[in-house]
Chains A and B, each alone.
Chain A
């Protein structure tokens, strides 16, 4: 394989994965985890969630080794099962991820509204419009800038945690007693949400010829996240009353205030902005490219494949994406139901890991001869473990915990939202997409082929695709 001019390093892969996962909403969900655990034992659920994330990372590593492309999750599912399954799961996953952007904006706006006396709605619009403009302009954080920002943020997180623990003379309340088994299992399920994003480094496989960087980067990101989150969890609950922290959407600001007063609020505001910027930097870009790719694949209306005439960015996709995020953010602002999105995010993450485990098994059956740069060790054990463990966690997310009756409403709303998103996606994939493709197919048939001499191949894979009525392998 020819070497590329630009080389990415391991530190950049780690910072991309960890930076994506560490968002402002992570502080809120960190305390959500704590609320299901006794005393200061929340760290245990975070560590366990991290350990099982390793299992999911193994599956991603095998899949991305087979298909080192930014088309990622959609391609893995399509090759293991079929295109409809890929479209359904890919769309649900991306839609919920965009909704989580809405929650992220709401929480960041809450932080900014605490630091500056301006209504939260102003900050929501300000932040999302800024993100839209940055993305349309095509400004991305370069490798070194991203590395410095991300590692500075993690260093600050760990440093603050150690400082807070030292200030409290390391006095902890039952740090090794997790409480009820059910509570702990649910805490682990929510803890999965804290790692949401580590797998989004898989598109970087396209930017390197040294494939091993990707699994190493994923494992590095999980370790960094687990260590930082676990320390921060203990530091927060040992500094401020857990009852106060778990009721607030901005627990880290309360923590900062308890440590340093007004300066602590400002510090946490800066950390929130950095956390959100690193998440949005890659998150919005990846999601908008997904929408663009879907449109180019004739699975969404053509309008979403339009590019900005100067910056070559998919501006209709970016605008659509941030419109949805704004709507979600405003809905959360007026209802206060931010926990719904935490449950929803955790559930969809568990869902996608189950699908990835199944994809590994499916591909081993369908394409046993295909070269695998990395193969998950111990045969089928780990993919099956991923399916079972994450399948159970997925179910647990929606079961009300008697110790946390206040969350039952949010859990129910999350379940209803997921069912609605799935139902709409099914309808779209099975009804609208075939109609769209039939329309574009008719247009393509009218078009004169330019290649002299012989009829041109079409975009559809021979015998593949099959999304047009009758399943013909025609231009899609």
Chain B
């Protein structure tokens, strides 16, 4: 199990990776969403604000009404944010659950796809 601080550390790195990737910023320039991440084994929740493709904030706790909710094991969340895990494979096996529109699911996966294409 990954602790809340481990996931926050991973999220902080994820934020830097995303915001520094110009290709991703261009692709996501119209994408402004509020995302919730829920660790199903620990019950920890995290909120991420994306404004025009830029991650403007990540914090502990579930704040606001989200556009996207991602539920996964804490270890998977942590590995996903570090880019060590291909989220599509977990998603296709039902181990990562997403509540969102088809387009938002695609956009979310696109982030990993662009930053870590070999993941």
Choice from B68, B75, B100, B109 contacting A296 with Cβ under 8 Å = B109
Complex: A207 Cα to B114 Cα, angstroms: 24
Q: Does B99 lie within 8 Å of A206, measured CB to CB?
A: yes
Q: Does B10 lie within 8 Å of A451, measured CB to CB?
A: yes
As a 0/1 sequence over residues 12 to 56 of chain B, the CB contacts with chain A under 8 angstroms (1 = contact) are 010000000001001110000010100000000000000000000
Complex: A309 Cα to B94 Cα, angstroms: 28
Q: Does A312 lie within 8 Å of B28, measured CB to CB?
A: yes
When distances are taken between beta carbons in the complex, the residues of chain B under 8 Å from A305 are 113
Choice from B27, B62, B118 contacting A447 with Cβ under 8 Å = B118
Q: Does A75 lie within 8 Å of B92, measured CB to CB?
A: yes
Q: Does B97 lie within 8 Å of A456, measured CB to CB?
A: no
When distances are taken between beta carbons in the complex, the residues of chain A under 8 Å from B107 are 312
Q: Interface residues of A: mostly helix, strand, loop or mixed?
A: loop
Q: Does A69 lie within 8 Å of B110, measured CB to CB?
A: no
Number of interface residues of A (CB under 8 A): 56
When distances are taken between beta carbons in the complex, the residues of chain A under 8 Å from B62 are 2
Cβ of A457 under 8 Å from chain B? yes
Complex: A433 Cα to B62 Cα, angstroms: 40
Closest Cβ–Cβ distance, residue B90 to chain A (whole Å) = 6
When distances are taken between beta carbons in the complex, the residues of chain A under 8 Å from B110 are 307, 312
- Kindly state the interface size class of chain B when it binds its partner: 35 or more
Question: Which of A3-11, A158-166, A394-402 lines the interface with chain B?
Answer: A3-11
Cβ of A79 under 8 Å from chain B? yes
Closest residue of B by beta carbon distance from A299 = B92
Cβ of B60 under 8 Å from chain A? no
When distances are taken between beta carbons in the complex, the residues of chain A under 8 Å from B93 are 71, 75, 78, 461, 464-465
When distances are taken between beta carbons in the complex, the residues of chain A under 8 Å from B118 are 443-444, 447
Q: Does B82 lie within 8 Å of A451, measured CB to CB?
A: yes
Q: Does B105 lie within 8 Å of A297, measured CB to CB?
A: no
As a 0/1 sequence over residues 58 to 89 of chain B, the CB contacts with chain A under 8 angstroms (1 = contact) are 00001001111100000110110011111111
When distances are taken between beta carbons in the complex, the residues of chain A under 8 Å from B75 are 457
Q: Assuming the A-B contacts A138-B103, A450-B82, A459-B90, are A296 and B113 also in contact, with contact meaning beta carbons closer than 8 angstroms in the complex?
A: yes
Q: Does B98 lie within 8 Å of A309, measured CB to CB?
A: no
Cβ of A458 under 8 Å from chain B? yes
Cβ of A439 under 8 Å from chain B? no
List 19 extra interface pairs beyond A75-B93, A293-B92, A307-B110, CB under 8 A: A1-B69, A4-B67, A4-B99, A69-B94, A71-B91, A74-B92, A75-B94, A309-B27, A314-B106, A444-B118, A449-B84, A451-B78, A456-B82, A457-B75, A458-B85, A459-B86, A459-B119, A461-B90, A465-B93
Task: Enumerate chain A interface residues (CB-CB to B < 8 A).
Answer: 1-6, 67-71, 74-75, 78-79, 138, 140, 203, 206-209, 285-286, 289, 292-293, 296-298, 302, 305, 307-314, 443-444, 447, 449-451, 456-461, 464-465, 475-476
